[in-house]
Structure 1
Amino acid sequence: MKYKSSGKQQQGYTPIPDQPKDKESRPLSGTSIYKIRPSFTLLPQLRNEEKEFFDLVRSGDEYSVLEFLKRSPDFNVNCQDYESNSPLHIAVYNEDVEMVELLLARGVQVMDCHLHAIKLGNTAIFSLLLDKIAENDPTLEFQGYLNSAEFSSGMTPLILAAQHEHYDIIKLLLDRGHKISPPHRPDCLCKKQCRYSKKKESLTNSLRRINTFRALASSAYISQCSYDPILTAFQLSHELQQCAEIEKEFTLEYLSLADRLQHFSVSLLDLCRTTDEVKLVLRQTADGTTSASKFPRLTFAIDTKQKDFLAHPNCQQVLYANWMGEWGDWKAMSFARKTLRVVPQVMLMPVFTFLFWVAPKSKLVRWWQSPISKFINSTVMYIVFLLLLFAETQLYKNFHTRGPPNTGFEWPIMIWVMGFLWEDSKHLYRVGFRKYFGDWWNCYNMTMTLSFIINFAAWLWSYLDVKWWGNKYLERKYWHAHDATLIGEGMFALSTVQAFSRLQYIFQINQHLGPQQISLSHMIQDILKFLSLFFLVMISFTTGLNRLYTYYSGMVRIDQTGLKKIQLGSFTSYVPYVHKYSCNLQHFT
């Protein structure tokens, strides 16, 4: 399509400037020097007068600006260039306070200039602009700007100031009554807001949530609006971890904010210079009340998975000192001296147990109550329990009769298991059902204890069965498949395996075995993932083979000798079974 020589531009098209008229670059005959190019975006264009005013504002010459406005009393001071920048934007970018005051006095519109002032961190200019907004409409200073080219509509001044860590501006806004409302979680389905937003505009809601969390995770904001910054950082970090598990699309955003909060809590712990200060931090509770735990803040850090805080040297030093208690010189002892201290304690355990009942507040008892002493006692008692299980297993080899075993170790084992049950019940009552079963080791302990209880019930059942029906010396090959004695043996074997495997819980305190145990758990998770794919492939092949072999199910073939052979149920059914004739093949010979 050629452009006509009438000199007029067609609407929506822009001609290319004149081409050079030298011979080499002159267009071929029959072609036009203009090409029609569509203009898809309509952007504002500055006139010469407006360009002059922009240059005067950019130069910072207030006298020239006043002279210009006197010459042009009808000039539009709110003119904008193609980037939607007004003269006030230019003054804010230059951080020219006097020019900003001059333009505001001339009635210029603020628009989103106060947000740009926050981004620059200029408190003086921001204060002027905010006062101007509040003068026109007091409610507008708490909101963002709808038609901003750089900021979203939900970007309020306080959120933007918190994201950029501007401490002075945050303080100014908090003094004026600004606040940040916590966003709803991604799995919230409240009728007021979340259900509608998920149906209509889920992306906008997610971006607004992330922007709000960025502001709430600001260290400058938390330091000024929270009475307990460490607790606030823990709670918000835990909430961000949960949001990362729910909203997978923004997992990296949520986890990066959670890591920032963990670094903030660690930086606060860095400020502690004495042991008393660290203890004061660790003794804080969520509501400021007393707690049964010596360090409730430490317990809360474990629940919210604040690994950096727990691994901090200040925290570890206080924990080690409280772990040792009266054994403060333990670290400086040699292996021989440590052995000489532990062995007498183990030998005198019955004596100290008696002292607990007679004189619970004596000095010896206080020395005994240190965490390391309790750990040694509980470890030794558990090893004794394992020795009882081992002795029970070895002595039971000589018993081949029906009924419960009678080695003499059954009652001590029952007493130990009842003690485990009492300990687990107390722990469950103290921490609550949800928190108790949230720890996998607690679930393991409860499963082991229940296995032993089922084993004891099977022993009782077998005892009553032999007492009522006899057949104590019946040969094992004639026992019923669900005989109580067999069930008791199986449950005792399972319980013994669980009891010995529980030693892994004690090995966690070792600096070498602990990391290896974590690696083992990760390896088991990878194995389970592989098995899931393996079983998927096996099910696929089984489905195909079942279709091929179904026709031959139960077929009988007679060979030349007259021997009958029956097709078993292999690959002919999803449920393995034995054909009713398979056990009596000798009758067909």
Structure 2
Amino acid sequence: MQGNARFRSGNFRGSSRSSNRSVPIPLEPLKEGHRMDPQERTFLEAAERGDKHSMMRCLQEKGKVNVNCTNIIGRSAIQIAVDNENVEIVEMLLQQESIKIGDALLYAIREGVYRIVEMLIDHPSITRGMLGGDWMQYKSTGEESSDYPPDISPVILAAHCNQFEILQLLLSRGAKIDKPHALICSCQRCKKELADDSLRHSLLRIHTYRALSSPAWISLTSSDPVLTAFKLSWELEHLAMRENEFKDSYAELSEQCKKYSCDLLNQCRSSEEVIAVLNRETDSDDEEDDYYVDTENITLSRLKLALKYEQKQFVAHPHCQQLLASIWYNGLPGWRKRNVATKTIMIVSLIALMPVMATYYLILPRSRIGQLLRTPFMKFMYHSASFGVFLFLLILVSTKGGNSTEDSTDARHRSRQMQRGPPPTPLEWLIVFYVLGFIWGECKQLWDEGLKAYVRQWWNWLDFIMLSLYLATFSLRLVAFTHSLDQDVFGPTYLDRTDWPDADPTLISEGVFAIANVFSFARIIFLFQANYQLGPLQISLGCMLIDIGKFMFIFFLVITSFACGLNQLYYYYSNDVVSSRSLASLNTTDAIETTAEPAGDFENAFYPYMTLFWSLFGLTQLSTVRDGDMQPYTKLVGEILLMVYHTMAVIVLVNMLIAMMSNSFQEIEDHADREWKFARSKLWMGYFDEGCTLPPPFNLIISPKSIYYCLRKLKNMFWSCKAPEESENSRRKSVAEGTIKVWRKMSVKCGLRAWFRDVMRRLVSRYIHHWKKQLRQDGVNEDDLLEIKQDISSLRYELREDRRRADARAASHMESLRHEILRSLHNSGHGPAPRPPRHDIVQGGRDSPPPSEPSASDFDFMKRDIIQGLRSEIREMTRELLAQNPPRSAVDSSLALASTDLYQTHLYTQL
């Protein structure tokens, strides 16, 4: 029994050991090295070491090794050589007929070896289409690569790695990248790719956009790199919002495009180049440029496009801000160098002279003072001063003295308070003129900028709401005044306010006017963007308002849920329900009085919202859910709901709102300078264009210049019907005229397209050199050390092979010398002929006698003859050397002779 048990246990252990040795790996990610052919292993190890000669011997032997064999991790010899940047081995392997390049081209592009890439793409197996879109079909037919997916073509990888030279080589060979279709595209190709594999379709889009957004691709393929970077970053931002699964990837690519445009602007070295970048007039590269542009005038069209696409880094760049500041303070030289006191005195003096200067401008708009008023800073100052006067008028109208007409007696004031539809006072008439001036200015701005550009600016919405409220106020006051004229229909004019109708037009106009005043004073925050200290705070406030809007949506859901619950709980205890039940049952006054104290704050659908809202600020008493003739269970449930509401709203939601606002403030604070400069630039650009020189209400006055422009416009419209080409030329001239003159004149007179392309070519060239310089300045990494190790190993095997060849050549030379000596002795008759090779004897036949071998005396005679000849030659050479370089002493001469004898003895021993 014990033996059988031991036998069984021994068998079990033995079987377990054998099973451990034979159980295969489930996935088998690597090849089994012991099953590889020894010759293939030697061949691949030689490729790894850089031993070119061993590889050549493996390829030249009878059992020729497979040149496409792979090692344990699936890498072929050419891939190993390319990864090690061994040009000689790659050149040798490409001469083999059955070589398969595979991912070796991608490895060469990744390593950035231009020579290897050029050799690989010149191979007959690589076609032009395989460099681009056909690479996917080529990879689908072969073995799957572990390094790169099949949608990574050579040109895409070169763009990913920013290999400028290699990418230019591929483009010259016809490689291209097809831009992905729109996300909402419903063509047959997109439908098929989505149906086959949606993940692969999304990854292909990301890889393609990563290539299109690379600096190398934009620099080498776009004639307007700045515009390309703007549009691509804007498109990637929209893709990040719509494809949330890959939001981080698209956002990173968008930031890369923004950084590239800033780097190009950073390469500008003069104001001329900055203006060339910012003054690009057209967005289309296909438009023919057959006219000349006066570079003294600029429109900053490209800067407006940067504001449209929210390129904050580009707009906040020092080069861009320096040009903007130069244009902003044009006409006021040295303004920025003056102290605060001087600036304040000058501003107060100019504001005091505003009516005089406005009148002068209306009469002589082209004069020197007129040109000064057209500068951006003067327009901003006068518009701000005009708005300040408007706010002062609002304050006067809102006070007791502003509402009186001729006298300010209390009786007169009380009579106006009781009057329905009072006529406007002089101050109110001034406000009417100011509002009309603001409306006219907004209409001109809407006409110049267009609806889309006007809507994108949030302060235009603020102006629209403010002016709409004022127009509603004026309309209601007009309706109320017309009602006061017909007392028979609408009642008496003078009446106590408590007796006025609820929907009286005067009451509604006063409420609307109060709301409009709030928006008017809130518009002052818009002017804070011009100040460095207040600008970031104003931007933070705008972001916080957005956070509050998000919070209010969640808060509305929470308050709605609790309001519905409390309303349903206390609905049956409301005054109407309990009173009706009491009247039906008891019909007594006591029952009504006992039920008159329920929770009245929850008796309809609107009151619960108000009660719960004011409870956030502690203005709701606990008695709202406790007092009243209610059941104890109802009171308990009501208190629990109110307690949970306060916990959710006060502790959770309010603190969440505080955290959101703190986060927004911190984000703005981290990039305060960039955010402020971007916001200030948007403010400044509103005053750079022509028009709206005079502030309200002076802009309501029709000037002679306006009449002249109107007549010229009518003339152009008349001629446009007859000659469309002339109208096109006039349109182009108007574009050049609607500009602001720069403080510095430039002497460039050439076509706009040629000038712009020349500047862009210089900027891109500098950017590429700067990129290469940064790569050279980077530290040595592990890859560089491995390449050095590979070069040293390859050099060692080269030296070893050269030494072996040298030894073989020396042995062959000595053998040939011996045969020559023997042959010479045979010819001179001193001895028999040298012995022929053995195969000659065999081939000669049986009857041919074997040749006689030289005797010992013949060898002695040959040695003496050779030694004597060598000695004589060495003596002659020694005499010549001594004659040229005489020895300094007898010791040197003896050493020379000794060395000569030693050399002769050594030579004799070798022979």
Task: State which of 244, 267, 279 in structure 2 corresponds to 1:283.
Answer: 279
Equivalent residue, structure 2, for 1:129: 120
Equivalent residue, structure 2, for 1:40: 26
Summarize deviations over 1:72-130 as a string: whole Å, max 9, x none.
45532212223221111122122222222222221211112111110111111111111
Count of matched residue pairs: 549
SS at match of 1:366: helix
Which deviates the most, 404-413 or 307-316?
A: 404-413
Distance 1:240 1:136 in 2: 33
How does 1:101-140 map onto structure 2 within 5 Å?
101-107=91-97, 108-132=99-123, 135=125, 137-140=127-130
Shift of 1:330: 1.1
Q: Normalization by structure 1: what TM-score? A: 0.87
SS at match of 1:489: helix
SS at match of 2:18: coil
Greater fraction of residues in helix: 2
SS at match of 1:472: coil
Q: What amino acid does structure 1 have at the position aligned with 2:308?
A: D
Q: What amino acid does structure 2 have at the position aligned with 1:574?
A: A
Equivalent residue, structure 2, for 1:390: 395
Q: What amino acid does structure 2 have at the position aligned with 1:253?
A: S
SS at match of 1:396: coil
**Is 2:13 aligned against 1:31?**
yes
Equivalent residue, structure 1, for 2:426: 408
**Is 2:316 aligned against 1:311?**
yes
Q: What amino acid does structure 2 have at the position aligned with 1:525?
A: I
Q: Is the 8 A contact 1:275 1:318 kept in 2?
A: yes
**Is 2:169 aligned against 1:172?**
yes
SS at match of 1:360: coil
How does 1:336-375 map onto structure 2 within 5 Å?
336-375=341-380
Q: Is the 8 A contact 2:528 2:535 kept in 1?
A: yes
Distance 1:138 1:250 in 2: 32
Distance 1:99 1:561 in 2: 111
Distance 1:475 1:201 in 2: 77
Q: Is the 8 A contact 1:282 1:297 kept in 2?
A: yes
Distance 2:264 2:303 in 1: 15
Distance 1:448 1:273 in 2: 45
Task: State which of 548, 554, 559 in structure 2 corresponds to 1:533.
Answer: 554
SS at match of 2:424: coil
Distance 2:147 2:156 in 1: 15
Summarize deviations over 1:387-440 as a string: whole Å, max 9, x none.
222222222383211004532122221221122112212222222222211211
Q: Is the 8 A contact 1:58 1:91 kept in 2?
A: yes
Q: 1:336 to 1:164 in 2, by over 3 A?
A: same
Equivalent residue, structure 2, for 1:249: 245
Q: Report 1 or 2 for greater relative contact order, CA contacts < 8 Å, sequence distance ≥ 6.
A: 2
Distance 1:62 1:515 in 2: 66
Q: What amino acid does structure 2 have at the position aligned with 1:167?
A: F
**Is 2:457 aligned against 1:457?**
no
How does 1:429-440 map onto structure 2 within 5 Å?
429-440=447-458
Shift of 1:349: 1.9
Summarize deviations over 1:495-522 as a string: whole Å, max 9, x none.
1111111000111111111111122223
Q: What amino acid does structure 1 have at the position aligned with 2:86?
A: D
Q: What amino acid does structure 2 have at the position aligned with 1:39?
A: I
Equivalent residue, structure 1, for 2:684: none
Q: What amino acid does structure 1 have at the position aligned with 2:468?
A: L
How does 1:448-527 map onto structure 2 within 5 Å?
448-469=466-487, 471-527=492-548
Summarize deviations over 1:135-161 as a string: whole Å, max 9, x none.
564432323333222111111111100
Q: Normalization by structure 2: what TM-score? A: 0.57
Which deviates the most, 447-456 or 39-48?
A: 39-48
Q: Name structure 2 gaps, 5 residues minimum.
A: 1-8, 405-412, 609-911
Q: What amino acid does structure 2 have at the position aligned with 1:326?
A: G
Distance 1:248 1:573 in 2: 42
**Is 2:602 aligned against 1:571?**
yes
Distance 1:63 1:123 in 2: 24
Q: Which has the larger radius of gyration?
A: 2
Q: Is the 8 A contact 2:240 2:248 kept in 1?
A: yes
Shift of 1:366: 1.2
Equivalent residue, structure 2, for 1:274: 270
Summarize deviations over 1:370-398 as a string: whole Å, max 9, x none.
11111111011111111222222222383
Distance 1:115 1:435 in 2: 46
SS at match of 2:501: coil
Q: 1:30 to 1:210 in 2, by over 3 A?
A: closer
Equivalent residue, structure 1, for 2:340: 335
Q: What amino acid does structure 2 have at the position aligned with 1:450?
A: S
Q: 1:40 to 1:467 in 2, by over 3 A?
A: same
Distance 2:59 2:181 in 1: 50
Shift of 1:273: 2.0
Equivalent residue, structure 1, for 2:202: 206
Q: 1:82 to 1:560 in 2, by over 3 A?
A: same
Shift of 1:547: 3.3
Distance 1:73 1:31 in 2: 44
Q: 1:293 to 1:411 in 2, by over 3 A?
A: farther
Distance 2:12 2:155 in 1: 64
Shift of 1:369: 1.5
Which deviates the most, 195-204 or 411-420?
A: 195-204
Q: Is the 8 A contact 1:262 1:308 kept in 2?
A: yes
Q: Is the 8 A contact 1:321 1:328 kept in 2?
A: no
Equivalent residue, structure 2, for 1:326: 331
Q: What amino acid does structure 1 have at the position aligned with 2:392?
A: L
Shift of 1:561: 4.4
Equivalent residue, structure 2, for 1:54: 44
**Is 2:179 aligned against 1:182?**
yes
Summarize deviations over 1:26-60 as a string: whole Å, max 9, x none.
x9774122234343234544221210111233343
Distance 2:176 2:226 in 1: 20
Distance 2:197 2:357 in 1: 68
Distance 2:477 2:494 in 1: 16
Q: What amino acid does structure 2 have at the position aligned with 1:477?
A: T
